Structure 1
């Protein structure tokens, strides 16, 4: 089945958004050669090859479902995201047309530069890294410097940050993932992360690190981190709590306005040589439009633009 974008917007952003109020009328198209949304028809044959981060799979599914007029189950074969680093490699290698992805590590940029490619890269959702502990842990706030000192090995006991006399069991994510890239760039900076106590303290999945902290010997000594989307999507209040950083709690508002001190985003990324009137170019620009941003917010992400009702 194929749908024009204007028809889907008129229906309240299509199948996946049928319970929402209809968004505002589409704004004027960009002044470039990009077709107006009402003039463009996405089909399975012309739909861009998408790739991205694990955390953006639900957004990719929603985008495909809305633009193709299919259910999430029906578009599942189109949204086989390969995680952050691999997605960037696939874009450079011509195996993907458009990414919806967290910021990559330095290896991603080196790979691009070595092959002479340039990217068009724009944020479509604000994101951050959040830190969580067992709900019984008396610590509610850490400074960014304290977080850095914990993960560099300088601080090792909760009593050093106002908590109980107990060792801090700090879980990490493996290199190459989106959340680890955020951790290294936005939190650690030039400070090296400590070596994990053992391999059990490096958890490969978002779900795994949350479960590991929740299950730590029924004691409130463990700590972990993940992106905000996963923390809110997976019911962080169930036995765990998010820490404020520098006295600011992570919320949609504090992330969007920048008052929460760790800043990153999910990006739309494509080859800078991609024509604006190609399927990937049209989809890229639509994600940045008010209608696209309404979909981002509906799916539980922090839209860059304030969503409209």
Structure 2
């Protein structure tokens, strides 16, 4: 943790120097560029605690939000932790659209479920929305499970209830306990869209459905002191947040999920993270939105272990 914090401050120093001054000072990308060189000096936008946009989003993007605030405000992650409280994927979109007493200015979140698109259309809400990183839906089992890889078809059959024993996919003679996420979770949206593709998932007992990503991972690792369970989560959460202790991330269709196989598209279940704000945001919100998509922002995305959408050397 200490080394990671030191490297983050080094990155902050590099970003600050490239932004013409102290941490938090960034040229406003929306400002027009004067034609004369004398007029080309653009006033930098300075982020402060008072003007920093209120962030919300998915559970798996909380570390990135902490890093963004740390870099732009020149504070430690711990010092910025009071600036935002993420309400998870579906609720964060609703809070942006409907508002609440605190207000939400900008999301860094997974793709919303279909119900959010329907609600957005019903109330004619307009937003700016661009992908800033790529993640993958991965499947995890207890580290003692001898199965290392499944096919897409096998995963579909496990979650429709057609395959019920690990011996059917080359494992031990044990029942398969397939954990799921709640319907409005970002990983559940990804599961339905990327894996099931219209196939109805079997109705799971209530204790097989977990509302928190961390709860699902813990349940798979510890279920009945046996390697019977399987579950799914986002690659960043399981791998870069070191949440997969005691677990094994499975290959799918023979492809092991990694930064390289996600970046080059070889791994089959890929999903974007998005930066989202209203159609007419405040100046600070627009500057932050644009910065996350900029070269400096993409460097930070890569530094934090996410796979940035840009393919530039700076972002690798």
TM-score normalized with structure 1 length? 0.87
Shift of 1:172: 0.7
1:91-102 to 2 correspondence within 5 Å? 91-94=96-99, 95-102=103-110
1:65 & 1:37 partners in 2: Cα distance? 24
From 10, 14, 18, give the equivalent of 2:9. Answer: 18
1:60 to 35, 56, 65: 65
1:184-203 map, 5 Å:
184-196=192-204, 198-203=205-210
Secondary structure at 2:125's aligned position in 1? coil
In the aligned structure 2, how far is the partner of 1:285 from the partner of 1:38?
16
| 1:242 CA drift (Å) | 0.6
Change in 2 beyond 3 A, CA 1:256/1:30: farther
CA contact (8 A) 1:16 1:65 kept: no
User: Of residues 92, 102, 111 in structure 2, which corresponds to 1:103?
Assistant: 111
Structure 2: 5+ residue stretches without partners = 21-25, 34-40
Cα deviation for residue 34 of structure 1 reads 6.8
Matched, 1:170 2:168: no
Counterpart of 2:262 in 1: which secondary structure?
Answer: helix
Q: CA deviation at 1:236?
A: 5.3
**CA 1:116 to 1:201, structure 2 compared with 1: closer, same or farther past 3 Å?**
same
Per the TM alignment, residue 217 of structure 1 is displaced from its structure 2 partner at its CA by 2.2
Residue 216 of structure 1 and its aligned partner are, at CA, apart by 1.8
Q: Give 1:274 shift.
A: 3.2
| Distance in 1 between residues matched to 2:241 and 2:42, nearest whole Å | 34
Shift of 1:233: 3.1
1:38 to partner: Cα distance: 6.6
In the aligned structure 2, how far is the partner of 1:224 from the partner of 1:118?
A: 35
Aligned residues: 293
Measured after TM superposition, the shift of residue 33 of structure 1 is: 3.3
Specify the alignment match of 1:269 in structure 2.
276
The 1:65–1:29 alpha-carbon spacing in structure 2 relative to 1, beyond 3 Å, is closer
2:45 alignment partner in structure 1:
40
Higher helix share: 2
Residue 291 (structure 1) aligned to one of 289, 292, 296: 296
Gapped regions of structure 1 (runs ≥ 5): 1-13
Give deviations 1:52-74, integer Å, cap 9, x for gaps: 11111111111112111222222
Q: Alignment partner for residue 267 of structure 2, among 254, 260, 263?
A: 260
- Alignment partner of 1:282 out of 278, 282, 287: 287
How far apart in 2 are the matches of 1:297 and 1:37?
27
Cα shift at 1:15: 8.0
Query: What's the secondary structure of 1:80's corresponding residue?
Result: coil
Q: Deviations over 1:252-277 (max 9, x none)?
A: 111111110001011101123337xx
Alpha-carbon contact 2:54-2:106 (below 8 Å) kept: yes
1:49 and 2:54 aligned: yes
Return closer, same or farther for 1:183/1:34 CA change in 2, 3 Å cut-off.
farther
Aligned equivalent of 2:138, options 114, 126, 130: 130
Instruction: Report the equivalent of 1:146.
Output: 154
- Encode CA deviations 1:102-145: one digit per residue, 9 max, x unaligned: 11111111111111112211111111110011122121111112
SS in 2 for 1:131: strand
Distance in 1, matches of 2:28 and 2:258, equals 32
**Secondary structure of residue in 2 paired with 1:128:** strand
